[in-house]
Amino acid sequence: FFSPFALSARSSHKLKRTQGHPCLPRTFRTSRTPKHLDHFNCTPATRTSDIDFEDTSRPEKSLPRRVFDLAWPLVLLSLANSQQPIGDVNVKRSEEEWREVLSPEAYKVLRRRGTERAGASPLDKLYDDGIFKCAGCGSPLFDSPAKFDSGTGWPSFSEPLPDTVDHTLQLLYCIGDLGAREVRCRQCGGHLGHVFSDGPPPTGRRYCINGAALSFEARGSKAQSPSAGARGER
């Protein structure tokens, strides 16, 4: 049977035995090294003085080196997200002209390489028979049988129409998928979205396309859907 007072006395006795050891905090310092702490190799000099734990083995970095350490990740990110030129295109307009003919959301996606919010486009749930065209130039891009529900919130296709899109290497998207590429309209160079290698058979591709970059034309009709990205007649 041990009373609280007895336990307190025993604890106080232990503190007094080890009080003052140099390898312990100041409240535990002692002029005598306990046997169970002999492996610290504390010399008599260290027993009577504080221990300096400051690491002086690494010299302080110079200002240019600190700037370099901060800048290089941003440079790599910029290079990884850079856009290669698509080459010669058939439809050319100045940026001011693009602003005039495109809606703000379509301009953000097609010309500024933006990404619309998932589920924002009504074309994501549209499975009517027809052709999906570029909202910038009207070039046919995807046939409706190639469209499938990917569950991502963006219109998804297993393959484009032949010779309609350009696949551009974009290192940022290759981090998680070596087969990922940026997808752009071959006629006007507008950014459409990206293609990934996790699609359904037989192609195994998932063309994840922004709805703002597309317009829809029903089969046998010349009228485009109201979700087209143009402001009016081009």
Token digits of residue 121: 């486009």
| Catalytically annotated residue among 134, 137, 185, 208 | 208
- Quote the distance between the C-alpha of residue 1 and its chain's center: 63
Rg of the chain (C-alpha set): 34
Q: Which residues contact 164 (CB under 8 A, 6 or more apart)?
A: 139, 140, 141, 185, 186, 187
Alpha-carbon gap, residue 167 to 173, rounded angstroms: 13
Please enumerate in sequence order all residues whose Cβ is within 8 A of that of 118, keeping only pairs 6 or more positions apart, or say none.
152, 153, 154
Residue 110, helix vs strand vs coil: helix
* Catalytic status, residue 208: yes
Contact (Cβ atoms closer than 8 angstroms) between residue 209 and residue 156: yes
Answer yes or no: are the C-beta atoms of 183 and 222 closer than 8 Å: no
Residues labelled catalytic: 208
